[in-house]
Chains A and B, each alone.
Chain A
């Protein structure tokens, strides 16, 4: 556990020094400024538009940072041989992987929280009083990023290609949001052979719409998943993909 904490801490410090996070913050600032213009166009619904636009871009910025980090962190250390320095000490490969992942997600969380603080200042200045639960929506966005990053880390080790892992993760992000529609198609679609690949996808792709609390208001009927279930789902999904990444890493020869 101590090894994981040390690796996470060094990973976090290293990520904070990277220019990418500064760029993402600047980019988020520009987009939040743009959201003000969009807010003016919405007249009476200005705060709602600001809320949705801001949180949406915070999520996308967090995702971009997490995908970049998850697909490069292990591969870069393998290429630069830095991984030898770590693994030559009494550190297990699983500990190394989890430590790096936790460090990365800590950096992403800090980056998203900074953007959210800026976003909240703008919202409050515009007179936003709810009823949307900001913290819940923010946590939902982070859980989505967390699940996708774990998958991206597995894909990076599996394919040994940053580009492939990034693109597949992006596709899975999209599919994960269409999962309710995919299930609807499977139930109501006519041609079974054509739907077979969709059926398979619906079991493997993470249900990101489940964690999409920002859009929860769009679903007016049916029971809402509790926090315990959402946290369990995200944690187990991460565990599945990190364990798979660990199995692959264990087989690699350094």
Chain B
């Protein structure tokens, strides 16, 4: 059995070296949700953390895109979009699971900044829950402290809390062209441009959304805004 011992010793040496080369991944601190526990565990065990995060994002988008069920079993109806009260177009609900779902996605893939920015943006600017949004961003920053986009969002939420539209614009403007910038944020900044009298910039941004966004909902909103600005 000398060969078996030699093989094991070689494996041991290789793995000891591998453990030095690569640090331990971030542990999953949030735990699994009952809804997606099986698929997340299966995907992670197959070495597909990024795909587990992707599936989590799809679930988050479906959750946020659906009307929230009330205790009597009836959901809120979606109202036409009102830029002054964006939360009402999402049923006026609280979407209590939005933050925790985003944290679970970050557990699976800490580099998935789109999920954090989407959830933080929705919580702060659509649902008027800036503190919950900051909690998501804090968690994201604890895993990716060098991400400037997170830092800009934290600042923008601070300005938003004080009703300073120009401050929000100034903080978010440099990241509007980033691949990870959710269309929701671009639409919100376009609206702030419009509200602060910067009609040309608003029109440019709305046109960009209309021409490039993959979200038909926001394309429709941008088309309506462009028509409104042209009148």
Which residues of chain A have a CB within 8 Å of any CB of chain B?
38, 41-46, 48-49, 52-53, 56, 59-60, 144, 173-174, 176-181, 183-184, 187, 202-210, 212, 214-215, 217-225, 229, 233, 236-237, 240-241, 243-244, 247
For the complex, give the distance between the alpha carbons of A67 and B62 in Å. Answer: 37
Q: Is B69 an interface residue (CB 8 A)?
A: no
Closest residue to A234 on the B side, CB-wise? B14
User: Which B residues are closer than 8 A to A by beta carbons?
Assistant: 3-4, 7-8, 10-12, 14-19, 21-27, 44-51, 53-54, 57-58, 61-62, 108-112, 114, 143-144, 182-183, 213-215
State in angstroms the CA–CA spacing of A220 and B141 once bound together.
11
The CB with the most chain B CB atoms within 10 A, among A178, A203, A223, is that of A203
Q: Are B45 and A209 in contact (CB under 8 A)?
A: no
How far apart are B198's CB and chain A's nearest CB, in angstroms?
A: 25
In the complex, what distance in Å separates the CA atom of A241 from the CA atom of B103? Answer: 40
Q: Report A-chain residues with C-beta under 8 Å of the C-beta of B49.
A: 215, 218
Q: Given A178-B45, A225-B22, 7 other A-B contacts at CB below 8 A?
A: A43-B215, A174-B46, A206-B15, A209-B25, A218-B25, A218-B53, A219-B26
Which residue of A is nearest B118, CB measured?
A44
Main secondary structure of the interface of B (DSSP, over half): helix
B61 touches A42 (CB 8 A): yes
Given the known interface contacts A177-B44, A177-B46, the answer about A243 and B7 at a Cβ–Cβ threshold of 8 Å is yes
Name the A residues within 8 Å of B17 (CB-CB): 233
A215 contacts B24, C-beta separation under 8 Å: no
Cα distance, A6 to B224, chains bound together (Å)? 68
A210 B11 Cβ-Cβ under 8 A: no
A205 to B48, CA, bound (A): 18
